[in-house]
Amino acid sequence: MEEKSIALFLTEGSSDKEYRVQLVQDGDGWRVFAQNGRRGKALKNAEKTKEAISYDSAVKLYDKTVASKTRKGYTEDVTGAAFAGGENAGRKTAFRPMLLTAISHEEASGLDGEWLAQQKHDGERRGVIAGPDGIHFANRNGLEVGVRQPVMDDVQALFLDLPEGFVLDAEDMGDHLVVFDVVEHPQVEKGVSTFRVRSNVLAGLQSTAQQLGLTAVKFDVPVPAAEFFRDREPRMRDAGAEGYVLRPADSVYAEGRQPVAFKMKYIESCTARVKARNGEKSSVRLEMLDGDDWIEVGNVTIPQGVEQFPEAGQLIEVEYLYAYEGGSLYQPVFKGPRTDVDDEACRLGTLKFKREADAAAAPAM
């Protein structure tokens, strides 16, 4: 009995897809994991087995998953970018990220006190853990995931320069990481060191990365909010950035949703559950949680070329301009599946409603 992994690729016209599968041992049993997405982008993770099963059953599932892709034209491509860390996919880590509370631009601009600001990067959350057990990467739920080989190589270079180890909070942009906070470090004590201190350490790591010539690990060092709104924010907005993040300079890193750690998104997005497909159309009906009840919030078109059409019960991410009272989304756009959150992420209260959107867009008098 042995672990297996495979990388498959499919290029058709402007589509360049990647699919990876791993058969890994989990205690006395075996599990199958897969990742898929556009080549060069962060891969979406999927658990093919929710719990450990027998080796024979896992091998059959692994072979069936691979065969389903090769029948669609996927082939192995040894010249493609290597994938590191997949052998431990799905295993729990100690990474528990800080989560942010949504805020409007007007509210953000009017905050009192000393705040530090950064760009909000549109990738997938990654914890970077380097220590006695080696280097590991975790998703938003703290489950171990793989990254692309250039990212692994650059993190290894940082680890060689800082053998005491570290835990970093980052966004996986596919071909590179953007590190935006330092959770643990020889100069950072988790839950004690302020964001101001962590920002200084982040600047030091950025300098080290530049000296080492690293390109697959980048750093976003926060700046005072006044400077950010004066110099950076207008350029970011014009460049089509997703939004920005604000945290008090004296705040500490804490797990879970924080009421005074804010995010502001220029384009709204939400997590919704697929209720059903609209007949033979390339669209699905969406629903979200209002208390204990699921209510419909409209439809979204699924574009051609999507590898797996969303099924009923699946969670997906949808961008939208605003929501009408009652929950109907205006100008929804399908962004992709969500495998890193549960039904609680589908709360109706996370939507930005039309009256709020109108107020946010109104010019200052």
User: pLDDT tens across 184-241, in order?
Assistant: 999 999 999 999 999 999 999 999 999 999 999 999 999 999 999 999 999 988 877 8
Per-residue model confidence as pLDDT tens digits over 62-84: 998 988 887 676 777 533 333 45
Give start-end residues of each CATH 2.40.50.140 domain in the chain: 268-359
Reference 288, options 344, 335, 348, 338; nearest CA is 348
Residue 263 CB contacts under 8 Å (≥ 6 apart), including other chains: 100, 101, 102, 103, 120, 243, 244, 245, 246
Structure tokens, 101: 């509370």
Measure the CA–CA gap between 83 and 15, rounded to whole angstroms: 20
Residue 112: pLDDT over 80: yes
Residue 80 confidence (pLDDT): 34
Calculate the average pLDDT of the chain. 87
Q: Which fold has domain 4-80?
A: q64v53_bacfr protein fold (2.20.140)
Residue 305: pLDDT over 50: yes
Burial of 18 (0-12, 13-18, 19+ CB in 10 A): buried
Residue 25: pLDDT over 60: yes
Measure the CA–CA gap between 115 and 122, rounded to whole angstroms: 22
Give start-end residues of each CATH 3.30.470.30 domain in the chain: 98-265
Q: Which fold has domain 98-265?
A: D-amino Acid Aminotransferase; Chain A, domain 1 (3.30.470)
How far are the Cα atoms of 17, 62, 104, 344 from residue 347, in angstroms, in the given order? 32, 35, 18, 6
**323 — pLDDT class (breaks 50, 70, 90):** confident
Which DSSP string corresponds to 151-189? HHHHHHHHHHH-TT-EEEEEEE-SS-EEEEEEEEBTTB-
Superfamily holding 268-359: Nucleic acid-binding proteins (2.40.50.140)
31-45, 87-101, 277-291: least confidently modelled range = 87-101
Residue 179 confidence (pLDDT): 98
Residue 231 CB contacts under 8 Å (≥ 6 apart), including other chains: none
Residue 363 confidence (pLDDT): 30
Cβ proximity of 285 and 126 under 8 Å: no
Measure the CA–CA gap between 164 and 190, rounded to whole angstroms: 15
Residue 90 confidence (pLDDT): 60
